[in-house]
Chain A
């Protein structure tokens, strides 16, 4: 896959493979996929169920170690980076948004958003930064509520606020709108798009065709391999690419 944008890369993945071995059998979830993600760019990864898109994102985010290939995030080779380096990256320069929100159930929305900032030692600035992030997602008035007291859409917006509060260089989002209604999902995508427009990078895994079309590029996976890349996509083209991938998988 080639790339003509002059902006510096934040994520560089070369020939990433991930094989899960279980005794005598082995399953290749990702087969030699490459991707370069640049500053100010939002890239969506789509594909049929089982195409390896979530595994690919996990490899790029450092949540899974590829079987082969290389991944560099913000200049760090994930294969050689130590545990402390990875923790610092996750804390200060990378944001994660998961389909299951993954908020700490015993913390309030405010405290969940403050968490990475406090882990970084920024106690005095954590509160104000978290409040600003919650205001950005429209949840400042729910700051003292716990996750169980919020709707699914509100919980996902808290998760995004937590990702945004650290002003990350790159956000990895795995099906962030999967459990949300159309309106809430649209709001989440708008926030992610806003991050890219402010100079950050967003890698989004989604099965939502309309959501994918908000990205600058769309990478289509099938059976662990990249089969197409769309630039400045519209929903109809994304849908056609997905249908093509489904029919031949």
Chain B
């Protein structure tokens, strides 16, 4: 037992970049969940109409934040164990049993997620009165309400994140401990992410819920909420189904770009495809950014058009801000973290490319091409969720409202995609610069390592 604890601790230190990524994402998730929960906690000891307003605001905020947190935490947990699988394969070679390997890998994930989530939720206790209070101060009926989270609310938020990380990590951890052939290291290099029963169940349940919400939107008491729910439900279904189409889809569309691609496109295309074959984690948060970033404004504008309003009201804008800000914050941090976590393999490939004659400019161009491929792919998938939102708005409010919402949807998708690209590039370029940096008094690239 002591040996396994030592092994787990040593591997945490050795894979520091990856585990710091998990820490960052779980802290962000804890913060966002805590902030989303704070209106509910505040409502429990707020009298009268204000409580009703708080419950109304918190319902959709919590739902959207939960979807964003769920997708991001699950994606990063899966990516973590995929990136560490080769290292875990060495444990098997050293004689650690498959069950022990799975247990230690999952244990590491849970411990790091717990530390991060607790820190994030603790920060939410301090930040909620200021951040959420600022967001709702113009909402009718909530002037003067003092938003708070409290220790119990923070504990619930942290626990939710840890449970999510644990559930998401069970299957990858079990796969990491499984000996497939004679050489676990070799099998770790060819392992592919696949749809498990849990993923299929989630996809089917989400699609069913989506269909029910969409069909029931017409004639519903609150059609705007129903239309708003389409984007997060569709994003969840698409991310759950990603292993069935992500890697092949990227291979197909990038293969159409040029019959004889430049080396930089070849490298970027291959690296992105390989990453998505091993884990759809890098795509999940980005799809969510695009889906929510385009779908929520589209639903809001369509509902406003249907209600005949010509001027956006302040309470609507504040509510929209809260609805968008928390999910986008979580997913953007998740997408940037996924890039940083995949740093080591990118560095190795950059060193190999340099050794066969790539210039630094070509290595940087390949990295930017990778960002382009990931963002374009995620945007294409996220657009399906936005299209579903517009279609539901047309069903619920009439075609005119959907048409009114379409330009907003497209503009919002463009902004969301641009934001994703900037965040990904900002996370990626320092690592690329490190991989290609000149050593002191030396123009040669670092010799590739085995």
Contact = CB atoms under 8 A, between A and B. Distances in A.
Contact of B356 (A82, A83, A100, A162): A162
A107 B265 CA distance: 12
A82 B275 CA distance: 34
A87 interface: yes
Contacts of B271: 104, 106
A64 B439 CA distance: 10
B447 interface: yes
Nearest to A101: B450
Given A63-B445, A119-B353, 13 more contacts: A58-B447, A63-B447, A64-B442, A65-B442, A101-B450, A102-B352, A102-B355, A104-B352, A105-B345, A107-B267, A114-B266, A115-B266, A127-B260
B444 interface: yes
A62 B263 contact: no
Contacts of A120: 357
A246 interface: no
Given A99-B450, A116-B357, A148-B190, A104 B445 contact: no
A152 to B, nearest CB: 10
Given A88-B357, A102-B352, A62 B444 contact: yes
B273 interface: yes
Contacts of B345: 105
Nearest to B442: A65
| B267, B353, B356 pick with most chain A CB within 10 angstroms | B356
Interface size class of A (residues with CB under 8 A): 35 or more
Interface of B: 186, 189-190, 260-263, 266-267, 270-271, 273-275, 345, 348-349, 351-360, 362, 438-439, 441-445, 447-450
A90 interface: yes
Contacts of B443: 65, 81-83, 86
| A115, A119, A148 pick with most chain B CB within 10 angstroms | A119
Contact of A87 (B190, B351, B359, B448): B359
A104 B363 CA distance: 13
A91 interface: yes
B448 A98 contact: yes
Contacts of A41: none
A246 B273 CA distance: 49
Contacts of A167: none
B192 to A, nearest CB: 11
